[in-house]
Amino acid sequence: MNKKIQRSLAVVSAAALVFGVAAAQTSANAAPKTVTIAYQGPLSGGEASTGTDEQNAVKYAIKLFNAKNKATYNVKLVSIDDQGDPAVAGTVAPGIGKNKAILGVVGPAYSGATIASLPFYKAGGLVLISPSATRVSLTDSASPDFGGPVFHRVVGKDDLQGPALAKYATQGVSNAKVFVFDDQSSYAVPLAGYVKGGLAKVAGATVVGTDSVPNTTTDFSPTIAKIKTSGATVVIYTGYYSQAAVFIKQLRDSGSKAIFAGGDGVFNQEFPKLAGAAAEESRVTGVGGLAGVSAALEADYKKQMGVSSGVYSVESLDAANILLQGILKGNTTRAKMLAWVKAYNGKSITGNTIKFSANGDISYGLFAGFTTKNGVLVNTGIVK
């Protein structure tokens, strides 16, 4: 933990102690009720930065809630570290499923880990609201991966993002020749499929080549050779930002001027930072960050948490807020919380209405287009 946060936490807890004592003296039986929710995602291992960013947003929501309702509720957070890995998720989920103190989970962050955890959460009737698990099959009742009735998500599915990415990548390019490649992850491969589906509907666009590159690759020269041979004018990558940064540098160094585009995995301000000038004019689809929603909110977040908000912070905040509002309404058993989420009808901090379909999807799923300008991904509006 950051020293600053530690210090401020110490101040907060000391203050809580003082005020707590004062409150106890005035009203004898007004002890706040302690309730527990959990966050599940990668908190260690290679994907830890995603999980840490999401969990920070959940912590922020809880901090605000506890400060506002300190007389009635004290919400505690349990961190579930699945490393984003289905194998790890399968070992941590049984305990969480059985721990009835946990009323609801923000997460799991990743689709693969979600699938591995689901049997235990279904058995325990534990409601899940994922900020970032986008695999389509999770809310497809005909699929063995189907997460109902416990699984919900506040993020748009890949079958909405794929076409949006295809459109955004080829915007203003006539007769686009597109090269699509993925990082072999369970996120990237299906998304690449939806991108290709989306490209079929873009007038004049053709897919001239594909590749599938392990997410540990640092030498992209074979892929670049293929891109050059294919004569592609647009290159779409459906993996994550760190690889995208390595790739785009090598692509530009090879002399290629093809447009580079990526999905929400690439959507991270670290991408232009890592890739430097090579990332300029790259097109990325993603969900707007906290700063895009409100600069004041981002400033308060930074003040309270000591760090800037990261990926999926809006979704994580929304997911945490749904559970917290449920607690405030007195839904302090798992069954009541599940019913609360199913019937939820409220607003996202973005202003969109959150209302889950029978299978756990939200009704919207708008993806914004971002373009790198002077080292920053700049929001160019919703892709239509």
Partner 1 sequence: MFAVLIDQFWSLTIAGVALGFIYVLVSLGYTMVYGVLRMINFANSEIFMWGTFGTIVTSRDIFGYTQTSAPATGPKLALVLISQLLMSMAVAGLTAVFVEFVAYRRLRAKGTNRLATLISAIGISIVLSEIMRLLTSSRPVGSPRVLEKIILTEVWGANIRLDTIVTIFAAALIYFLLERFVKLSRMGKAIRAVSMNEDAAKLMGVNLNRVITTTFLVGGLATGAAGFFYITVFEYTKFNIGFTMGMAAFTAAVLGGIGNIRGAFYGGLFLGLLEVYASAVLGTQWKAVTVFVVLVLVLLFKPNGLFGEAVQTTRA
Instruction: State the residues that interact with partner 1 by CB under 8 A.
Output: 44-49, 52, 181, 184, 210-214, 216-219, 221-223, 225-226, 228-229, 242, 245-246, 249-250, 253-255, 270, 273-277, 375
Cα–Cα distance, 380 to 280 (Å, whole number):
14
Taking the complex as a whole, the smallest distance from the CB of residue 5 to partner 1 amounts, in Å, to 13
Cα–Cα distance, 99 to 103 (Å, whole number):
9
Closer to partner 1 at the Cβ: 289 or 369? Answer: 289
Using alpha carbons, list the distances in angstroms from residue 34 to 51, 74, 75, 77, 332. 25, 5, 6, 11, 10
Closer to partner 1 at the Cβ: 138 or 207? Answer: 207
Taking the complex as a whole, the smallest distance from the CB of residue 376 to partner 1 amounts, in Å, to 12
- The percent helix, strand, coil of the chain (3-state, each to 5) is 45, 20, 35
Closer to partner 1 at the Cβ: 66 or 210? Answer: 210
Cα pseudo-dihedral 20, 25, 26, 29, rounded to 10: 80
Cα–Cα distance, 190 to 238 (Å, whole number):
9
Cα–Cα distance, 70 to 62 (Å, whole number):
11
Closer to partner 1 at the Cβ: 217 or 304? Answer: 217
Closest CA to 258 of 273, 246, 270, 248: 248
Question: Buried b / exposed e across 330-354, counting CB within 10 Å, b at 16+?
Answer: ebeebeebbebbeebeeebbbeeeb
Taking the complex as a whole, the smallest distance from the CB of residue 220 to partner 1 amounts, in Å, to 9
Centroid of chain to Cα 60? 16
Taking the complex as a whole, the smallest distance from the CB of residue 274 to partner 1 amounts, in Å, to 4
Taking the complex as a whole, the smallest distance from the CB of residue 109 to partner 1 amounts, in Å, to 14
Residue 31 DSSP one-character state: P
Cα–Cα distance, 61 to 57 (Å, whole number):
6
68: Cβ contacts below 8 Å, ≥ 6 apart: none
Taking the complex as a whole, the smallest distance from the CB of residue 322 to partner 1 amounts, in Å, to 28
Taking the complex as a whole, the smallest distance from the CB of residue 8 to partner 1 amounts, in Å, to 19
Closer to partner 1 at the Cβ: 39 or 73? Answer: 39
Taking the complex as a whole, the smallest distance from the CB of residue 250 to partner 1 amounts, in Å, to 8
CB atoms within 10 A of CB 69: 16
Closer to partner 1 at the Cβ: 49 or 137? Answer: 49
Taking the complex as a whole, the smallest distance from the CB of residue 228 to partner 1 amounts, in Å, to 6
Closer to partner 1 at the Cβ: 102 or 274? Answer: 274
Closest CA to 114 of 77, 155, 56, 73: 155
Closer to partner 1 at the Cβ: 223 or 321? Answer: 223
Closest CA to 53 of 325, 315, 349: 315
Closer to partner 1 at the Cβ: 35 or 245? Answer: 245
Please answer whether residues 266 and 311 qualify as being in contact, where contact means their C-beta atoms are separated by less than 8 angstroms. no
Taking the complex as a whole, the smallest distance from the CB of residue 254 to partner 1 amounts, in Å, to 7
At 267, list the tokens. Answer: 């959507």
Closer to partner 1 at the Cβ: 122 or 226? Answer: 226
Q: What are the helix (H) ranges across 148-220?
A: 158-170, 188-200
